[in-house]
Structure 1
């Protein structure tokens, strides 16, 4: 790698935006949201974006093109990608596409501790998640329908999110059915006894 900077979705997105044209941070954030990339990149807090920009700049992957101001806005720094930044961005992109990464999202972690709840409590919580997934899925479907005239390549991340969400929703329905029908029972007392038997 050309620079000692760790890949991240946000850093890759900044480099990709600057690959197309020089931008100031506000313009980057606006385009991320306008193009729907905030589905896959967290730009809820602008400080995270500024931090990524500072690190990319320190690593030599982006450079200041100009600093200007007008009557409506405070001073704005416009950044451009460097040759090193272009090389690193392509390397990161290929690695992220090719190599599955061991990530630690919160839902599987919560599932691993489900035994803390009673079956009814689990049913209630997972039922709320199923409702939320259904609403999210409707949103992805609407987005794909709304942007149907765009080239498919621009909507692949939404297709992926829809597929992953649909798969989770289908799996969750089977778990909820098993909980409702009593096919997935447990009791805290029995589990405590099992844990005691397996203690070293």
Structure 2
């Protein structure tokens, strides 16, 4: 079965709930600007709750129980379904397709894997195999380009080189 088509905030919410059953408010605290995951990729509280609704409708999350709120209504404790857990495992192992996604999706994956105590080397190696062939191709484009395309090619080439240095340093 192909992986579900989810946005980055939806993947983050699904992965956090797969890590341990939680209510939306707890997930929102982790994805707040000063939260464990939010320092890498901030997901505002309304987006967390929208993601919970979509993931539940898709059968990737279920309400596993309720918990009394301190000052308010009962909170629904969410849990990943077996399909949700399988999707998370596949997503966390999949490298990103573009250098530009290293700053967002790849770093979030590293943060989420680290939270789980999972090894990073498999994802890092897979990511290196995606980025490594790009660097020489971008170097050729840079050498052949003129005008603004040369500037753009230089930016892309240097970014790919920096990404490879980063991956090699991990």
Give the alignment's TM-score, normalised by structure 1: 0.44
- Is 1:39 matched with 2:44? no
Cα shift at 1:82: 0.8
Rate the CA distance shift 1:66–1:7 in 2: closer, same or farther, 3 A: same
Runs ≥4 in structure 1, deviation > 4 angstroms? none
Cα shift at 1:42: 3.2
Aligned counterparts of 1:101 and 1:59: Cα–Cα separation in 2: 30
Cα shift at 1:71: 5.3
- Is 1:29 matched with 2:25? no
Give the alignment's TM-score, normalised by structure 2: 0.51
**CA-atom RMSD in angstroms:** 2.8
Aligned counterparts of 1:86 and 1:23: Cα–Cα separation in 2: 14
Contact 1:23 1:79 in 2 (8 A): yes
Residue number in structure 1 paired with 2:48:
49
Is the partner of 1:38 in helix, strand or coil?
A: coil
| Larger of the two Rg values belongs to structure | 1
Residue number in structure 1 paired with 2:106:
none
Number of matched residues? Answer: 104
Rate the CA distance shift 1:70–1:89 in 2: closer, same or farther, 3 A: closer
Is the partner of 1:41 in helix, strand or coil?
A: coil
Aligned counterparts of 1:48 and 1:31: Cα–Cα separation in 2: 13
Cα shift at 1:32: 2.7
For structure 1, the residue ranges without an aligned partner over 5 or more in a row are: 104-152, 157-200
Rate the CA distance shift 1:100–1:83 in 2: closer, same or farther, 3 A: same
Residue number in structure 2 paired with 1:60:
59
Q: How does 1:89-108 map to 2 (within 5 A)?
A: 89-95=88-94, 97-100=95-98
Residue number in structure 2 paired with 1:182:
none
Aligned counterparts of 2:84 and 2:47: Cα–Cα separation in 1: 19
Cα shift at 1:41: 2.6
Residue number in structure 1 paired with 2:83:
84
Aligned counterparts of 2:37 and 2:69: Cα–Cα separation in 1: 28
